[in-house]
A and B are shown apart, each in its own frame.
Chain A
Amino acid sequence: MAKPVLMFDSLSCCEGCGLQVLNCETDLLPILEKADIGRFREASDGDVDHYNVAFVEGSIVTPHDIERIQEIRAKTDLLVALGACATHGGVNFLKNFQDPDDVAKYVYGDKRAWFPHVAARPLKAEVRVDAEIPGCPINPREFLEAATCLLTGKPFKLPNYPVCVPCKLADNVCLWHKGAACLGVVTRAGCDPYLCPSAGHKCIGCRGLVDKPNTQAAKDVMAEFGLTVDDILREFRLFQGIYKEVAQEA
């Protein structure tokens, strides 16, 4: 049987997720034995006509991104969105909360006409996406798990519980008790062992919301900690602006 062909490409982003894949280092070797790499923008030249699995990082910000993702979709059997930009629009989504022309002016000045752009969006806004690995950047362990699932045909499932669970297991004192508005309480887990709270930083929600967050509790409890809805939305918008609950209140 021919080896499956994998492909890695990047749309508008920092390409940090591609780097995380390479950071798997020797753990990638067994995968390379089982699969061929048709293209890897971050690592090598070359391309092929057909892929079995395309891993695409970055969000859609330009008309070119739209063409590119459609092109990739047409050439691949399965499409996996890699990282916050591809799954939720990522930090690029922030520009949607500002005047598009102001944004263009700020970035490209008087040359802005040369750089057409569209409202930022995740891959699934344009094409069918078969699986998502969220995070900014992705957790290399989760990438390896997804890759193993793909090679064996086992469905890949994201954790459906918040960051609080692994954070408590790491024996961390809750950052709320240290005065930080940590978003871990409503953010999907799966980043461990690379937990921001373990390093003393509050969770900023890069993996998106857990299913069915209790937004009512969020407001009440945050108020008790002296925070307003606006404070929290500002935090949320960094990565979670795409959610209706967050976007509407903005």
Chain B
Amino acid sequence: MTQVSIDIAAGARAPSPYVPRMARILAAEQMTETERFFRLQAEGEAMRYEPGQFVEVMVFGIGEAPISICSSPTQGEAFELSVRSVGVVTNRLKEFKAGDRVGIRGPFGNHFDYAAMKGQDVLFVAGGLGLAPTRSLIRYVMDKRKDFGKVTILFGAREPKWLLFRSEVEAWQKRGDVDVHVTVDRGDASWKGNVGVITRLFSKVAIDAPRTWAVIVGPPVMFKFAVLEALAEGIPEHRIICSLERHMKCGVGKCGHCQIRGIYVCREGPVFTYEQVKRLREGI
């Protein structure tokens, strides 16, 4: 085991990684009953990030919550978040609107390896809020469409009312250069589309396994079965990519809350290959 060498004096002078910078909300919109969309701009120098990274959003006096960035750096200097109201901080964020300010730390974590996917096919499988981190890469791929081969998007939610980015997904469907399929577990009177779990969509698409990357993000049970489908299609484990959800509290690999076995998800993740996740065992 190699000992990491530590410079205590230099570290003592380092800036605290726990101080947020201010960001202004440029736009805010309620997407579903529980999910709220924000477009934010960091004050001062723009925040540089990569698809798949996350930020800690701080509401002063209340606390911080780790949120995946759902936009792509190709979209410009602002960044976008899709926040589900499930905790103390995210419930408070429900009241935030354009013009309000929050604290931001980050971006943290690794990112989707789009360079490795260049020239190849990409299959996106997103369930529910899993579309948020996935969208960061989808938008990147859309903006650099020529760099990639065939692009397929499978998106599912419990019910039509829980579908995120609905008009945007419809716009993708109309593009013609992306194959998009949407399904819901339970339809309603107005729903004309597919009904059933997301794995049923695999039969609708043609996958050229040797040249395909599968990006699968969603709740644990959806992830498990979507991975089985991808493996059955012949996509190798190291080309199945996921993004894990944990409660990252510090973002810098110290506080321990996001740890899976020896891995700090906030630093070495949140993006992993299925090959890695499988070995972690506690991953999903």
Contacts and interface: CB of A to CB of B under 8 A. Distances in A.
Interface of A: 152-155, 157
Nearest to B95: A153
B88 interface: yes
Interface string B73-93: 000000000000000100010
A44 to B, nearest CB: 31
Given A153-B92, A154-B62, 6 more contacts: A152-B61, A154-B61, A154-B88, A154-B92, A155-B88, A157-B88
Bin the interface of chain B by size: under 10
Q: Which of A152, A154, A157 has the most CB of B within 10 A?
A: A154
B43 to A, nearest CB: 24
A155 B88 CA distance: 7
Interface string B55-69: 000000110000000
Nearest to B88: A155
Contacts of B61: 152, 154
Nearest to B91: A155
Nearest to B61: A152
A153 B62 CA distance: 10
Nearest to A155: B88
Contacts of B92: 153-154
6 contacts: A153-B92, A154-B61, A154-B62, A154-B88, A154-B92, A157-B88
Nearest to A154: B62
A137 B216 CA distance: 52
Interface string B25-44: 00000000000000000000
A152 B88 CA distance: 13
Contacts of A155: 88
A115 to B, nearest CB: 45
Nearest to B59: A154
Nearest to B62: A154
B8 to A, nearest CB: 25
B87 to A, nearest CB: 9
Nearest to B63: A154
B91 to A, nearest CB: 8
A154 B60 CA distance: 11
B93 to A, nearest CB: 13
Contacts of A154: 61-62, 88, 92
A155 B89 CA distance: 10
A154 B59 CA distance: 11
A62 B77 CA distance: 66
A155 B92 CA distance: 10
Interface string B262-284: 00000000000000000000000
Nearest to A157: B88
Contacts of A157: 88
Contacts of B62: 154
A157 B88 CA distance: 10
A154 B95 CA distance: 13
B272 to A, nearest CB: 30
A41 to B, nearest CB: 32
A180 to B, nearest CB: 32
Nearest to A152: B61
A155 to B, nearest CB: 5
B161 to A, nearest CB: 26
A45 B62 CA distance: 36
A55 to B, nearest CB: 22
A182 B186 CA distance: 53
B129 to A, nearest CB: 22
4 nearest A-B pairs in the assembled complex, by CB-CB distance: A155-B88, A154-B62, A152-B61, A154-B61
Interface string B85-128: 00010001000000000000000000000000000000000000
B220 to A, nearest CB: 22
A92 B158 CA distance: 49
Contacts of A152: 61
Interface in B213-271: none
Nearest to A148: B61
A183 B37 CA distance: 47
A152 B92 CA distance: 11
A155 B85 CA distance: 14
A150 to B, nearest CB: 13
A152 B60 CA distance: 11
A33 to B, nearest CB: 18
Interface in B168-226: none
A196 B92 CA distance: 37
